[in-house]
């Protein structure tokens, strides 16, 4: 069995990644900022269908050096999933950009010094498909967000700055450490506990009766498929030095999600509104992307969007986040 460090074990994506690794027979250590969340993480991992006997914990914070050498000690691989995601835009963009960049470099240097074989970094489509003059194309892994481009938000800028810094470190001082990067679009899928992602919050709002917002389109990936892709990028020789976009199918709008919920869940989705509000000013920005590379090189196969949407909703009912 390989020993794998997963950063930010209490997060939506990390909990699924940990469950996937354990089910495949790996030993997993995960980092938490507070040891008080250990029982919560174990519960989420068990709800994800995994045996948690080979799960251990280390206390470490991305904003501090302390704890990272112990966290990576003895590990074969590191999956750096943790990343700051603000509830509101910070007054100073550096409040978000600096921790994202420095935290990534902190993990990479600790992994390099510990003799880790490969780090898989969870980046984002935010590092690929923003800040462009035109969106009349399908984005793929050679595309990069321009941090000086139009309509640049601090979170988007933080993702491209952090990923660029990671590649630069590997090129200049990475030693034998390998790097692979996964760039997901909007992440949906079943939650394993009461904490939900920003994308899943859209489904929650629709189930609670909020009208679909006009002009909002995005790519979608199931968190379970995203976990699969992380493990493939960790173990496949061909994944060394590669980026992989994670997206299932074409872009969807909130109206599309509402219609799927209404059709699949019947009376349990009685509050869902399926009409799209009128009065959208201008044409919506649609950012299309493709996972052809991940499917071709790694054999990755994402599930249908309808399955992801319905499973997301059912998990919100299960944990009492939404009352059906």
At 104, which helix (H) or strand (E)?
A: helix 94-113
User: Angle at which helices 198-207 and 254-265 pack, to 10 degrees?
Assistant: 60
- Classify residue 51 as exposed, middle or buried by CB count within 10 Å of its CB (0-12, 13-18, 19+): exposed
- Can you say whether the dihedral through the CA atoms of 35, 235, 45, 195 is positive or negative? positive
Instruction: Provide the 3-class DSSP secondary structure of residue 46.
Output: helix
Q: Where are the alpha helices (DSSP H) in 208-272?
A: 223-235, 254-265
- Quickly list DSSP for 282-314: SPPP--EE--HHHHHHH---PPPHHHHHHHHHH
20 included as an active-site residue: no
At 206, which helix (H) or strand (E)?
A: helix 198-207
Distance CA 10, CA 31 (A): 9
Query: Residues 159, 204, 240, 293: which is the catalytic one?
Result: 159
Distance CA 183, CA 162 (A): 12
Alpha-carbon dihedral of residues 124, 125, 127, 129, nearest 10 degrees? Answer: -170
Distance CA 204, CA 101 (A): 31
Q: Just list the catalytic residues.
A: 159
């Amino acid at each position: 069995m390989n020993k794998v460090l997963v950063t930010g074990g209490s997060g939506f994506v990390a909990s699924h990644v940990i469950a996937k690794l354990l089910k495949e027979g790996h030993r997993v250590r995960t980092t938490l900022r507070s040891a008080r969340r250990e029982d919560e993480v174990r519960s989420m991992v068990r709800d994800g269908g995994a045996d948690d006997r080979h799960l251990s914990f280390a206390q470490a914070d991305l904003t501090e050096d302390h704890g990272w050498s112990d966290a990576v000690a003895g590990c074969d691989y590191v999956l750096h999933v943790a990343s700051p995601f603000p509830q509101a835009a910070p007054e100073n963009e550096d409040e978000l950009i600096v921790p994202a960049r420095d935290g990534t470099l902190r993990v990479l240097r600790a992994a390099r010094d510990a003799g880790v074989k490969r780090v898989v970094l969870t980046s984002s489509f935010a590092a690929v498909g923003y800040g462009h003059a035109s969106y009349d194309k399908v984005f793929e892994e050679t595309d990069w967000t321009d941090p000086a481009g139009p309509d640049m938000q601090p979170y988007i800028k933080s993702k491209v700055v952090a990923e660029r810094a990671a590649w630069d470190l590997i090129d200049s001082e990475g030693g034998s450490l390998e790097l692979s990067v996964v760039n997901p679009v909007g992440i949906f899928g079943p939650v394993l506990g009461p904490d939900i992602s920003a994308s899943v919050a859209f489904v929650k709002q629709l189930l609670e009766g909020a009208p679909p917002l006009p002009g909002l389109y995005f790519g979608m990936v199931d968190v379970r498929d995203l976990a699969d892709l992380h493990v493939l990028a960790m173990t496949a020789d061909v994944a060394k030095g590669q980026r992989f976009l994670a997206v299932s199918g074409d872009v969807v709008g909130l109206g599309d999600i509402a219609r799927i919920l209404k059709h699949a869940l019947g009376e349990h989705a009685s509050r869902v509104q399926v009409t799209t509000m009128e009065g959208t000013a201008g044409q919506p920005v649609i950012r299309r992307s493709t996972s052809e590379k991940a499917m071709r090189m790694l054999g990755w196969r994402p599930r249908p969007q309808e399955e992801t949407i319905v499973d997301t909703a059912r998990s919100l009912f299960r944990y009492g986040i939404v009352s059906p």
